[in-house]
Amino acid sequence: MAPPKFMGLSGRPLSLAVSIVATTGFLLFGYDQGVMAGLITAPAFNNVFEATRDNSTMQGTVTAIYEIGCLMGAMSILGVGDLLGRRKAIILGGVIMVVGVIIQITAMAGATHLAQFIVGRVVMGVGNGINTSTIPTYQAECSRTSNRGLLICIEGGVIAFGTLIAYWIDYGASYGSDDLTWRFPIAFQILFALIICIPMIFLPESPRWLLSHGRVKDADKVISALRGYEIESEETVLERSLIIDSLRASGGYGQKSTPMKTLFTGGRTQHFRRMLLGASSQLMQQIGGCNAVIYYFPILFQTSIGESHSMSLLLGGINMIVYSIFATFSWFVIERVGRRRLFLYGTVGQMLSMVLVFACLIPNDQMTARGAAVGLFIYIAFFGATWLPLPWLYPAEVNPVKTRGKANAVSTCTNWLFNFLIVMVTPIMIAEIGWGTYLFFAVVNACFIPIIYFFYPETAGRSLEEIDITFAKGHAENISYVKAAEDLPHLQPAEIGAYALRYGLIGESITPNPSLP
């Protein structure tokens, strides 16, 4: 009996289709992250939206208001994400983004044109907030253990490629007519949104979400289709049983929506700690200075280093090429090097890069300031290789299946809240304290190192159910969760149930099995 099919696909081709759609969602995210960088100071844009001309506060508002929309979208997933399901939420997010683009590009000179443009930015942000909260969870729940990290790192990495495309489209459009200069780069986003929405109509729902709603037959069909198994095979039954055991351990089997209070529980499942780990990775990504560089790279070159607008756009495009090249680095090492070490290596690299930037800007000399450009290039290389993809991967795998949807939404809310803060204050910081901006980011990065070293357990090579056991082990044995992850052997699927019994994830007051190491 052949495996069931979706879109006429099963097994590896179906998993590839899921990954392509998920990756396009983050390509669109990266594109929109970069598109305003080349437009906000463009004369053609400033001629239509006069309030943005030479006004760093208004430039920050128009750019950063998008993050408020993203925050609203992520918060909506907290409320209705578990009811909607991963698939419907992604479709909804894509449709909302298309509406937001149309509102922006139809703004005409008049009394309310800037307000219309800002509303369009917010609406598009809502759609992106929904998608960035949902897509990593969907990808994690549809992936095999062996390639989960790689696939979500590819998602995170293509943010850089989206930003690269945006920078070069901005640069090319700057040589066109005034309308083309800013309307076309924004309108181009519709292409990505359609690539997300249309195939997703035909792709499967997450098997873990289906089982959390008690839809066993539908889940068996999806598991069989994604893995290429027959629907009644032993492999399908084993994978379904492991997911159900994990859901029962956390009280989420057959529960259509997880109550918010569940996020704040401890005990064997450590829901609260795990939510904080995921959210803190997104917090550190934002306050480490990434968007101060990505959104405002051309402005940094114009104000801090003294280049022309055209040359700043060109250098910004080159910087994005560097960004994209290094964003692929994690794809090859994420499972071998692990999450912890990549977090630490990236933090040290970002810190030293910011030290170089502020040191070269202190003399206030244009020749010396070019050393700061080297620092910005090095920063974006380290960020692209490490901190770009990891905060999208870590929350999706460190949180248990019961709270994964809501906890991942909390992580994404954290991302957008502090994204807004950094994007809003960066132009003001550059104008008021100059090189002190980069000193601030260097100090902030230094603060990350002990947090990661002492509190972030390794998740590489673990199934989502093994990660549950890691936290139960740390709680039961009253040891550091980092040490628990180091001490727990890598388990075969047939061993997971026994370890879940040992650490009390299944049943009440289970006596540890002395035959287990």
pLDDT of 254 = 61
Give mean pLDDT, residues 232-244: 87
pLDDT of 482 = 95
* Statement: residue 508 has pLDDT above 50: no
d(CA 171, CA 488): 51
User: Per residue in 107-139, pLDDT tens?
Assistant: 887 768 899 999 999 999 999 999 988 998 899
pLDDT of 41 = 79
Token pair 């990593």: residue: 136
Token pair 């969602």: residue: 25
In percent, the amount of the chain with pLDDT more than 70 equals: 93
- Burial of 268: CB neighbours in 10 Å, binned 0-12, 13-18, 19+: buried
Task: Please name the amino acid found at residue 128.
Answer: N
Range picked from 34-48, 52-66, 73-87, 341-355 for highest mean pLDDT:
341-355
pLDDT of 516 = 40
Q: Which residue has better confidence, 493 or 219?
A: 219
CB 227 within 8 A of CB 239: yes
pLDDT of 385 = 92
pLDDT of 515 = 40
User: Per residue in 341-380, pLDDT tens?
Assistant: 999 999 999 999 999 988 988 887 777 877 888 888 899 8
Closest alpha carbon to 497 in 477, 471, 516, 478? 516
Bridge partners of residue 9, in order along the sequence: 6
Can you read off the two tokens belonging to residue 273?
Answer: 């700690």
Give mean pLDDT, residues 295-310: 66
Closest alpha carbon to 101 in 195, 183, 196? 183
pLDDT of 296 = 60
pLDDT of 512 = 39
User: Per residue in 435-477, pLDDT tens?
Assistant: 888 899 999 999 999 999 999 999 988 888 899 999 999 999 9
User: Per residue in 157-192, pLDDT tens?
Assistant: 888 899 889 888 988 898 889 889 899 999 999 999
User: Per residue in 387-427, pLDDT tens?
Assistant: 988 998 899 889 987 888 889 889 989 988 898 888 778 77
* Statement: residue 495 has pLDDT above 90: no
pLDDT band at 511 (very low <50, low <70, confident <90, very high): very low
* Statement: residue 88 has pLDDT above 90: yes
Give mean pLDDT, residues 202-231: 91
pLDDT of 313 = 72
pLDDT band at 297 (very low <50, low <70, confident <90, very high): low
Range picked from 62-71, 98-107, 369-378 for highest mean pLDDT:
98-107
- Burial of 450: CB neighbours in 10 Å, binned 0-12, 13-18, 19+: exposed
Mention every residue, 6+ apart, whose C-beta is less than 8 A from residue 8.
none
pLDDT of 513 = 39
Q: Which residue has better confidence, 501 or 306?
A: 501
Give mean pLDDT, residues 238-251: 80
Alpha helices in 288-403 (DSSP H): 290-294, 297-300, 309-327, 329-337, 339-361, 366-382, 390-398
Token pair 């993050």: residue: 67
Q: How many CB atoms lie within 10 A of CB 410?
A: 24
In percent, the amount of the chain with pLDDT more than 90 equals: 42
* Statement: residue 21 has pLDDT above 60: yes
d(CA 272, CA 285): 20
User: Per residue in 304-346, pLDDT tens?
Assistant: 566 676 777 777 778 778 888 998 988 888 888 999 999 999 9
Q: Which residue has better confidence, 285 or 510?
A: 285
Mean pLDDT value across the chain:
86
**Which pTM value belongs to this model?**
0.81
